[in-house]
C-alpha cells in the first residue's frame, strides 16, 4: 500500500534501523511499556543518545520496565545518555510553530553529536496533542520532522495510544509513517499481556486474576506438549515473571500444580519471581517440587558501556 512517501512496512523493535521514522499503535499499558523500553534499550546498546519526550506521564513505568529488563537505568541517567523530557516541557511542543519544533530538533541532534554520540534516538508520546490549540495539525508537525530527519543520524518512534485518538485521526497518523512497529502477543486483554520471547520461553506481564488465570496454565501445558514433541529440546519450559504486577493465590498455586504434572525429563523454570510471589510459592511447597525451579533473571550482557564512544587517535 502506498502511504505518505513510500511503501508501508512492518518491523519488530529489533529490526528498527538508524534513520527510521516509525510509529506504534498501542492497545494496552503493558504493550506501551514493552515498546517504549525495547526502543530505548536497543538505542542504549548501540551507544546512542536517547531523548524521550514524556507526554503521557510514563517515565516511572518506563524506568520500571527497563529495570525489569535488566537495564542499569541509574547509570544511563547519571551519564546523560538517557534523557527524559518531563511532561510540562513536552506539552509545550504542541503550542510551538513548525519552525520552532524543527529548531528544537536540530538543537537536540547537534547537542548529542557534540557530546560524542554517533547518533540520537528520539521518542514522543503525543497524548496531550489531542487537546492542542487549533491551527497546526499533528500531521503537519510529523511531515516537517520527517523531512528534517533526512541526512541526519536520528531514529524516531512516535507512540499513539488507540484510546487517545479517533479512528480517522489514527488512520491519518499511521499513513504518514512508512514503518509501523509490530509487537505480537499470544494474549493481551489490557490487564494481562503474554508474549513469546523464544521457543519454550514466555513472558507474562500485568495482572493475573480469576478472569484470565486459566490462560497461563493453558500456555504452560501447550509449551510442555510442544517440548515433548520436539526433536531437540533441553527440557526446560521458561516463564518470565519480571513484569508480573499481581497474581492471586490460586494462580500462584497453579504454577506448583503445573510443575508437578511435568515428567522427570522436563522442568518448569520461573524467572524474575517477585518476593511476594516467591513467599506464596514457598508456602505451597515449591521447594519440594523437583520439576519447579526459581531463578533470577539473567543479566543483560548485551548492554554497552554508558556514554558516548571515546575518540581514539
Q: Indicate if 149 and 235 belong to the same structural domain.
A: no
Q: Show the 3-state SS of 129-156.
A: HHHCCCCCCHHHHHHHHHHHHCCCCEEE
Q: Indicate if 202 and 169 belong to the same structural domain.
A: no
Return the number of other C-beta atoms located less than 10 Å from residue 263's C-beta.
11
Per-residue pLDDT tens digits for 264-290: 999 999 999 989 899 999 998 899 999
Number of domain units in the chain? 2
Whether pLDDT at 183 is above 90: yes
Structural domain contains residue 215: yes
User: pLDDT tier at 304 (50, 70, 90 boundaries)?
Assistant: low
The predicted structure's pLDDT at residue 129: 66
Q: Which three cell numbers stand for residue 274?
A: 517477585
Domain that holds residue 223: 187-295
Structural domain contains residue 149: yes
Choose among 171, 237, 180: nearest CA to 204: 237
Which single residue is written with the C-alpha cell 506539552? 91
Query: What is the torsion angle, in degrees rounded to the nearest 10, for the CA atoms of residue 129, residue 130, residue 131 and residue 133?
Result: 60
Structural domain contains residue 308: no
Specify the pTM. 0.90
Structural domain contains residue 301: no
User: pLDDT tier at 139 (50, 70, 90 boundaries)?
Assistant: confident
The predicted structure's pLDDT at residue 296: 86
Structural domain contains residue 307: no
Per-residue pLDDT tens digits for 236-265: 999 999 999 999 999 999 999 999 999 999
For 115, which DSSP code? Answer: T
Structural domain contains residue 101: yes
Whether pLDDT at 133 is above 70: no
Q: Indicate if 138 and 227 belong to the same structural domain.
A: no
With a CB cutoff of 8 Å and minimum separation 6, the contacts of 117 are 47, 48, 49, 81, 308, 309
Whether pLDDT at 147 is above 60: yes
Pairing of strands 21-26, 179-181: parallel
Higher-pLDDT residue of 293, 130: 293
Amino acid at each position: 500500500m502506498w502511504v505518505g512517501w513510500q511503501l508501508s512496512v512492518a518491523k519488530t523493535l529489533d529490526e528498527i534501523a538508524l534513520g527510521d521514522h516509525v510509529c506504534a499503535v498501542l492497545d494496552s499499558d503493558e504493550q506501551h511499556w514493552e515498546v517504549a523500553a525495547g526502543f530505548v534499550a536497543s538505542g542504549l546498546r548501540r551507544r546512542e543518545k536517547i531523548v524521550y519526550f514524556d507526554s503521557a506521564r510514563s517515565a516511572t513505568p518506563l524506568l520500571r520496565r527497563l529495570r525489569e529488563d535488566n537495564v542499569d537505568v541509574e547509570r544511563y541517567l547519571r551519564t546523560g545518555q538517557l534523557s527524559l523530557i518531563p511532561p510540562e516541557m513536552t506539552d509545550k511542543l504542541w503550542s510551538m510553530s513548525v519552525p520552532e519544533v524543527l529548531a528544537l530538533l536540530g538543537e537536540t541532534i547537534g547537542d548529542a553529536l557534540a557530546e560524542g554520540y554517533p547518533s540520537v534516538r528520539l521518542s514522543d508520546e503525543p497524548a496531550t496533542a489531542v487537546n492542542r490549540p487549533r491551527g497546526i495539525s499533528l500531521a503537519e508537525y510529523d511531515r516537517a520532522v520527517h523531512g528534517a530527519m533526512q541526512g541526519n543520524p536520528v531514529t524516531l518512534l512516535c507512540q499513539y495510544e488507540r484510546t487517545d485518538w479517533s479512528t480517522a485521526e489514527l488512520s491519518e497518523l499511521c499513513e504518514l509513517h512508512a514503518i509501523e512497529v509490530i509487537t505480537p502477543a499470544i494474549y493481551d486483554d489490557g490487564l494481562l499481556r503474554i508474549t513469546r520471547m523464544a521457543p519454550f520461553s514466555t513472558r507474562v506481564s500485568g495482572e493475573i486474576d480469576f478472569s484470565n488465570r486459566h490462560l497461563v496454565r493453558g500456555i504452560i501445558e501447550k509449551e510442555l506438549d510442544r517440548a515433548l514433541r520436539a526433536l531437540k529440546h533441553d527440557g526446560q519450559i521458561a516463564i518470565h515473571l519480571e513484569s508480573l504486577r499481581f497474581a492471586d493465590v490460586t494462580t500462584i498455586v497453579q504454577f506448583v500444580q503445573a510443575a508437578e504434572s511435568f515428567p522427570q525429563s522436563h522442568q518448569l523454570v520461573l524467572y524474575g519471581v517477585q518476593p511476594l510471589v516467591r513467599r506464596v510459592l514457598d508456602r505451597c511447597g515449591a521447594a519440594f517440587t523437583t520439576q519447579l525451579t526459581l531463578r533470577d533473571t539473567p543479566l543483560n550482557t548485551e548492554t554497552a558501556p554508558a556514554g558516548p564512544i571515546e575518540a581514539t587517535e
